[in-house]
Chains A and B, each alone.
Chain A
Amino acid sequence: MKTPLRNVILGICVLAVVGSVIAFAATGMYPYTRFRDAEIEAANAETDLSDLFADADEQGTHAAVESVNAIGLLPSGPGAASISVVTISGPAIVAIGLALWFGRRKASGTTDADNGSIST
């Protein structure tokens, strides 16, 4: 593989790994990728009755499920839900490994040739 092409691939892959990790951290570090859900949002937005009985809420807040767009550590299904740190970074890390391996192989071949030895 030509060095400039390899460097471009390396750069893209490193960006993919770093980008997915940053997106994971920035969107709440959920274990699974998730998307906003209209039904959850509608139920969470409707608080008229809860507000009316707010003074009678001796047992604390009634918790709610978050409705967010988040890149998770793992995918949560097919399609867009398959985007995750693992599904982005996994192939990128493999590609980085391959690019580095090819680069090292080529470099060691060049060095051996410079030394007058036969190398594959």
Chain B
Amino acid sequence: MKIITTIAALTLASTFALSQPAHKAMPVAQAAPGGKTLVVSSAHQAKGQVYYAITERDRQIYVESDAPLEKIKGQSNAVIGYVVSSSHNPGSLVAGEWHLPVNSIKTGIELRDEHLAGSDWLDAGAFPDVIVQIRETKDIKVIKQTASFTQYSVTLVGDLTLHGVTHTINVPNSSVSIMNESAATKKVARGDLMAVRSKFTITLADYGVSHPVIGEKVAKEVEMDVKLFMSTNPPAKQ
């Protein structure tokens, strides 16, 4: 009887633990006037050096769905946002947020782009952005150092909100590369620069995206390849 009671207690305890969110949801940053970046809270500004996403230039997001009947590729260069790099360790990202407007994802076929943003799929009307919020980086180590840049390998930890559903993500083997401003960098963008590269997989069902063609024409898991370029100068001064 004692054993049964213990097992029941343990089961209840583990169920309770699983049902708790891993983290408290973070507030979502608002777009700054002009819409080219997000408003950085004073709490985040105090954590270190802010780098702002350089938007509408090089492509930033590449998405691929490799289903048995069809391979779909998408991309966007309309991501806005920022990350905060620790003043103690520049490779450590201590906060940040990126917004990918769903309507900006281009697959090369106009009608498909409309379907993707429609209510049957990502529902851009109700959930206009895919949001990534950085909580921290772990396993930080320098993997390359040259005269012009330092590259760190990190595990990105944050929250991904897609279709109104938020899950914590851990992305190992991500990289953060930092390049101080120089004559060469000034020709391209002003300020100290950062490149963040991260590849991860999204299971559509986890985010409440369901459709009869998932598994046939659209993969259950979609690959995301993020490559954000950032500058210490806000967009207005880039």
Contact = CB atoms under 8 A, between A and B. Distances in A.
B229 A81 contact: no
B73 A63 contact: yes
Nearest to A62: B227
What interface size band does chain B fall in? 35 or more
Contacts of A18: none
B97 to A, nearest CB: 20
Contacts of A34: 108-109
A6 to B, nearest CB: 37
B99 to A, nearest CB: 17
B108 A49 contact: no
Given A40-B108, A65-B107, A76-B109, A46 B197 contact: no
Interface string A58-86: 11001111111000000011000100000
A77 B193 CA distance: 42
A46 B188 CA distance: 11
Nearest to B188: A48
Contacts of A66: 73, 108
A63 B60 CA distance: 10
A67 B175 contact: no
B225 A43 contact: no
Interface string B45-60: 0000000001001110
A52 B173 CA distance: 21
Given A46-B58, A49-B189, A59 B197 contact: yes
Contact of B151 (A56, A62, A67): A56
Interface in B124-153: 143-144, 146, 148-149, 151
Nearest to B173: A59
A51 B229 CA distance: 11
**SS class, residues of chain A in contact with chain B:** loop
A37 B107 CA distance: 9
B151 A58 contact: yes
A31 interface: yes
A81 B225 contact: no
Interface string A32-44: 1011010110011
Given A49-B195, A65-B106, 20 more contacts: A34-B108, A43-B59, A46-B77, A48-B187, A48-B189, A49-B54, A49-B58, A53-B149, A53-B195, A56-B195, A58-B197, A62-B197, A62-B225, A65-B107, A65-B108, A66-B73, A68-B108, A76-B110, A76-B112, A77-B110
Give me the 7 closest cross-chain CB pairs, A-B, nearest first: A77-B111, A56-B177, A49-B229, A43-B77, A53-B195, A43-B59, A48-B188
Interface of A: 31-32, 34-35, 37, 39-40, 43-44, 46-53, 55-59, 62-68, 76-77, 81
Interface of B: 54, 57-59, 62, 64, 70, 73-77, 106-112, 143-144, 146, 148-149, 151, 173, 175, 177, 179, 184-185, 187-189, 193, 195, 197, 199, 225, 227, 229
